Structure 1
Amino acid sequence: MNLSYWEYKTWLSDIDFTIVGSGIVGLNCALVIRKKYPSAKIVVLEKGVLPEGASTKNAGFACYGSISEIISDLNTHTEEEVVQLVDQRWKGIQLLRKTLGDETIDYQQHGGHELFPKSKEGLFKTCKENLRLVNSLLKPIFGTTAFQLQENRFHFKNIKEQYISNTLEAQINTGKMMAALLNLTAKNAIRILNAITVEEFQESGNAVEVRTNAFTFKTKKLMIATNGFASQLLNEKVQPARAQVLVTQPIPELHIKGTFHLDEGYYYFRNIDNRILFGGGRNLDFKGEETYEQTETPLIQNQLEKMLAEIILPDTPFEVAMRWSGTMGIGDVKKPIIKQISDNVYCGVRLGGMGIAIGSQIGKELAELSV
Structure 2
Amino acid sequence: MNLSYWELKHWFAQVDFTIVGSGIVGLHCALALRERFPHSKILILEKGILPQGASTKNAGFACFGSLSEILDDLKSHSEEEVIQLIQKRWSGLQLLRKNLGDEAIDFKPYGGYELFLKSDEPSYNDCLQRLPFINDILKPIFRNEVFSKEVDRFDFSGIQEYLIFNPYEAQIDTGKMMQALLKKAIANDILILNQVEVTAFQEKSDGVMVTANDFSFATRNLLFATNGFAAELTNNQVKPARAQVLITNPIPDLDIKGTFHLEQGYYYFRNIDNRILLGGGRNLDFEGETTTEFAQTELIQQRLEALLKEVILPKTEYTIAHRWSGIMGMGSCKRPIVEQLSTHVYCGVRLGGMGVAIGSLIGQELADLVK
Regarding TM over 0.5, the answer is: yes
Measured in 2, the distance between the counterparts of 1:136 and 1:206 equals 51
**Structure 1 equivalent of residue 65 of structure 2:** 65
Residue matched to 1:276: 276
- Give me the whole-angstrom Cα distance separating, in 2, the residues matched to 1:25 and 1:316: 39
CA distance in 1, matches of 2:185, 2:172: 20
1:334 partnered with 2:306: no
1:194 and 1:131 map into 2 onto residues whose CA distance is 46
- Measured after TM superposition, the shift of residue 214 of structure 1 is 3.2
Give the distance between the partners of 1:120 and 1:242, measured in 2 at CA. Answer: 24
Given that 1:241 and 1:291 are in contact with CA atoms closer than 8 Å, whether structure 2 keeps it comes out as yes
Could you tell me which residue of structure 1 aligns to residue 249 of structure 2? 249
Distance 2:66 2:357 in 1: 13
**Number of the residue aligned with 1:310:** 310
The question of 1:87 aligning with 2:87 is answered yes
2:46 is matched with: 46
Are 1:196 and 1:214, in contact at CA under 8 Å, matched by a contact in 2? no
**How far apart, in 2, do the equivalents of 1:95 and 1:339 lie?**
21
Instruction: Tell me the alpha carbon deviations over residues 201-228 of structure 1, each in whole angstroms, 9 at most, x when there is no partner.
Output: 1111110010011320010111000000
1:77 corresponds to which letter in structure 2?
A: H
SS at match of 1:242: strand
Whole-angstrom distance in 2 between the partners of 1:226 and 1:325: 16
Amino acid at match of 1:176: K
**8 A Cα contact 2:27 2:181, kept in partner:** yes
**1-side partners of 2:339 and 2:139: how far apart?**
29
Q: Which residues in structure 2 correspond to 1:334-353 (within 5 Å)?
A: 334-353=334-353
Is structure 2 residue 124 aligned with structure 1 residue 124? yes
User: Structure 1 CA distance, aligned partners of 2:161 and 2:238?
Assistant: 38
In the alignment, what sits opposite 2:5? Answer: 5
Q: 1:162 aligns to what?
A: 162
Match of 1:174 in 2: 174
Letter in 2 for 1:241: A
Superposed counterparts of 1:350-361, under 5 Å: 350-361=350-361
| Partner of residue 288, structure 1 | 288
Where 1:116 maps in the other structure, the secondary structure is: coil
Q: TM-score, normalised by structure 2?
A: 0.99
- Report the more deviating stretch, 122-131 or 346-355: 122-131
Give the equivalent residue in structure 1 for 2:213.
213
- Distance in 2, matches of 1:26 and 1:143, equals 32
Secondary structure, counterpart of 1:3 in structure 2: coil
For 1:215 and 1:370, the matched residues in 2 are separated by 26
Question: For the residues of structure 1 that align with 2:214 and 2:161, how far apart are their CA atoms?
Answer: 57
Q: Give SS of 1:271's match.
A: strand
Preserved contact between residue 68 and residue 263 of structure 2 (Cα < 8 Å) = no
- The match for 2:325 is 325
Within 2, Cα distance between the matches of 1:2 and 1:74? 54
Superposition RMSD in Å: 0.7
Q: 1:76 matched to which residue of 2?
A: 76
Q: Deviations over 1:132-163 (max 9, x none)?
A: 11011111111211111111111100000101
Amino acid at match of 1:152: D
Q: Which secondary structure does the structure 1 equivalent of 2:234 belong to? A: coil
CA distance in structure 2 between the partners assigned to 1:106 and 1:90 by the alignment:
18
Instruction: Give the whole-Å Cα distance in 2 for the aligned partners of 1:284 and 1:71.
Output: 20
User: What letter is aligned with 1:185?
Assistant: A
Return the letter of the residue paired with 1:177.
Answer: M
Q: Secondary structure at the match of 1:260?
A: strand
CA offset digits 1:265-317 (Å, max 9, x no partner)? 11100000000000011111111111111011111112111110000000001
Instruction: Compute the displacement of 1:120 (Å).
Output: 1.2
Q: Deviations over 1:183-240 (max 9, x none)?
A: 0000000000110000011111110010011320010111000000000111111000
AA matched with 2:67: I
Q: Tell whether the 8 Å contact from 1:20 to 1:223 is kept in structure 2 after alignment.
A: yes
Which residue of structure 2 lines up, in the alignment, with residue 105 of structure 1? 105
- What's the CA shift for 1:165? 1.4
What corresponds to 1:228 in structure 2?
A: 228
Once the two structures are TM-superposed, the CA of residue 264 in structure 1 deviates from its matched residue by 2.0
What residue identity is the alignment partner of 1:233? L
SS in 2 for 1:109: coil
* 8 Å CA contact 1:246, 1:277 repeated in 2: yes
| Aligned-partner residue type, residue 213 of structure 1 | N
Deviation readout 1:340-362 (Å, 9 max, x if unpaired): 00001000000000000000000
Whether the 8 Å contact between 1:110 and 1:167 is mirrored in structure 2 is: yes
Deviations 1:166-192 (A, max 9, x none): 110000001000000000000000000
In 2, distance between residues paired with 1:99 and 1:347?
22
Q: The residue matched to 1:76 in structure 2 has which SS?
A: coil
Runs of 4+ with deviation above 6 angstroms: none
* Aligned position for 1:204: 204
Q: 1:345 and 1:140 mapped to 2: Cα distance? A: 36
Q: Matched residue of 1:261: which SS?
A: strand
Q: Verify the 8 A CA contact 2:72 2:264 in the aligned structure 1.
A: no
Whether 1:140 and 2:145 are equivalent positions in the alignment is: no
The one-letter code matched in structure 2 to 1:111 is G
> Which SS does the other structure have where 2:288 is aligned?
coil
Which one-letter code corresponds to 1:19 in the other structure?
Answer: I
Amino-acid identity (%) = 60
SS in 2 for 1:130: helix
5+ residue gaps, structure 1 = none
